[in-house]
Structure 1
Amino acid sequence: MKKEHRLGHFHMFWYTVLRYIVIGLYHLYFNITFEGTENIPKDGGNIFASNHRSYQDPVFIALPTRVPLSYMAKEELFHQNVFFTLLIKAFGAFPVTRGKGDTQVIDTSIEKLEKGRNLVIFPEGTRSKDGKVGKGKTGVALVAAVAQVPVVPVGINFEGKLKFRKRVVVRFGKPIVPCEIGVTATDPHSLRTIKNEIMKNITELVH
């Protein structure tokens, strides 16, 4: 995939305005800090692979990121009510059916990347209740291997449940470039290689 597409200036202007408003609100509500922000690419067309702690995770990742995000969300979230469905779609969410080989999700992911958006994937597939990082699934590895784009590992850290003034630390690791770790194909060995590298880096950021 070539990074030839960029989001329009109008789109970026309003996204930037909205992002700074949300940053202010989140700093008021949470005691939140960001580490490793120098590892965040300034352009779009990148994957952010993170552990999954709460429904706030996509926002936590988006706050220090200049380019709008798209993210996979479980299909059930799109059947709750019309307003909520329109809201999460407006913020870049698209449905994925868990436990099934949904090839459309891969196509949609590539499409989002090609349009210049960043893509958030939670490799564990579900939220962790105890904060420990799970094994992860190969979906993120498949998208990364097909698109050949950098994967930025993210570790979201907090203890207990999210509440007012809860301390939250979001850490961004160095981008993982598939071809630099020898992954140029989508065979099972290559997918395991990149998945294991991604999950290892995420785990190191969660402490």
Structure 2
Amino acid sequence: MGGVSQDNQQEAFRKYFYIFGAMSSANKKFSFFERFMRLVVLVVIYTVRGFFFVWYRPKVRFTDKSVESTNLRSPSVIIANHTSMRDPIMMLAVFFHKRSIVVAKDQVEDPHFSWALKHTDCVIPCDRFNMDTEWALLARRELEKGNSVIIFPEGKCRYDGLLNEFKTGFAFLARSTGAPVVSVGIDGIYKWGHRTQIVIGDAEKIERVAGIPSSKHLAERGEYFRQKVWKLKQLALGKEAAILPATAETPQEILPGEGEK
């Protein structure tokens, strides 16, 4: 992330979690306009959710008895592959109860989306281009309030069918809070006549190690869950579980037009 070393990032996470982690957020007093905008956004959220269920008719499957409903038994870190810009909306529609979602800060500030994203309590902004630890503190608070946190560890969409590297923030968050990780595979197909397939795996906790977890340990956990999400995605696509190369061996995605340069 912006040239910042993993060790420095983990030290910053530790600072936020263990020094400021117990701080409660200040009570907010909203103006009439703010309350009105929140009401508008709430109406939009329910409308969009209804549209997604009618138009894309998501079919949700569960693979383990530890998770048999999208209304999770305990606050969890929910991770999924990222194939389409519709993925976050679909995840919010499916996991509709007591959840928040980590969203790229540049999208939160985009004037096309900011009017809605800044007037809802379920959005956690994260700067994906620079070291950002504030999102982790906000996510921890959401878990403490009983809300699950949805994260796309790839940080951006990938359109060629493979998965990008999983950033390790989700692993540090889960390990530090003790929240289980729920892996999700999305087929990423959003079109009329096709039911978007979503496969939800088990709830798995990341083992705790003495002291602050090393970058190597978190990277190993990141790769482990990357492979796990990959298998769930293949199930969603109805394919045999093809082998996903390790992150270091996965080729960079070539976007349209780049191959002509």
TM-score normalised by structure 2 residue count: 0.63
Q: Separation in 2 of the partners of 1:65 and 1:31?
A: 14
1:44-83 alignment runs, 5 A limit:
44-65=74-95, 67-81=97-111
In structure 1, the residue matched to 2:247 is none
In structure 1, the residue matched to 2:193 is 165
Report the number of matched residues. 187
| CA-based RMSD | 2.7
8 Å Cα contact 1:31-1:168 kept in structure 2: yes
Of stretches 68-77 and 17-26 in structure 1, the one that deviates more from structure 2 is 17-26
8 Å Cα contact 1:44-1:67 kept in structure 2: no
Identity of aligned pairs, percent? 24
**1:24 CA displacement:** 4.3
TM-score normalised by structure 1 residue count: 0.77
Equivalent AA in structure 1 for residue 218 of structure 2: L
8 Å Cα contact 1:42-1:66 kept in structure 2: no
**1:28 CA displacement:** 1.9
Q: Separation in 2 of the partners of 1:39 and 1:187?
A: 34
Q: Which whole-Å deviations, capped at 9, do the CAs of 1:25-74 have from their partners, x for residues lacking one?
A: 32321142111161646334211010012222223223343523211111
In structure 1, the residue matched to 2:134 is 104
Is 1:186 the equivalent of 2:192?
no
1:1-207 alignment runs, 5 A limit:
24-36=50-62, 38=68, 40=70, 42-65=72-95, 67-81=97-111, 84-89=113-118, 90=120, 92-159=122-189, 162-179=190-207, 183=209, 185-207=212-234
Any runs of at least 4 consecutive aligned residues in structure 1 with deviations exceeding 4 A, and if so which? 17-24, 182-185
Secondary structure class of the residue paired with 1:155: strand
8 Å Cα contact 1:47-1:149 kept in structure 2: yes
8 Å Cα contact 1:52-1:126 kept in structure 2: yes
**1:167 CA displacement:** 3.3
Q: Separation in 2 of the partners of 1:71 and 1:109?
A: 9
In structure 2, the residue matched to 1:5 is none
Higher relative contact order (CA 8 A, sep 6+): 1
Structure 1 pair 200–41 and aligned structure 2 pair: CA distance change class (3 A): farther
**1:84 CA displacement:** 2.9
**1:140 CA displacement:** 1.1
8 Å Cα contact 1:62-1:68 kept in structure 2: no
Larger gyration radius, structure 1 or structure 2: 2
Secondary structure class of the residue paired with 2:203: coil
In structure 1, the residue matched to 2:251 is none
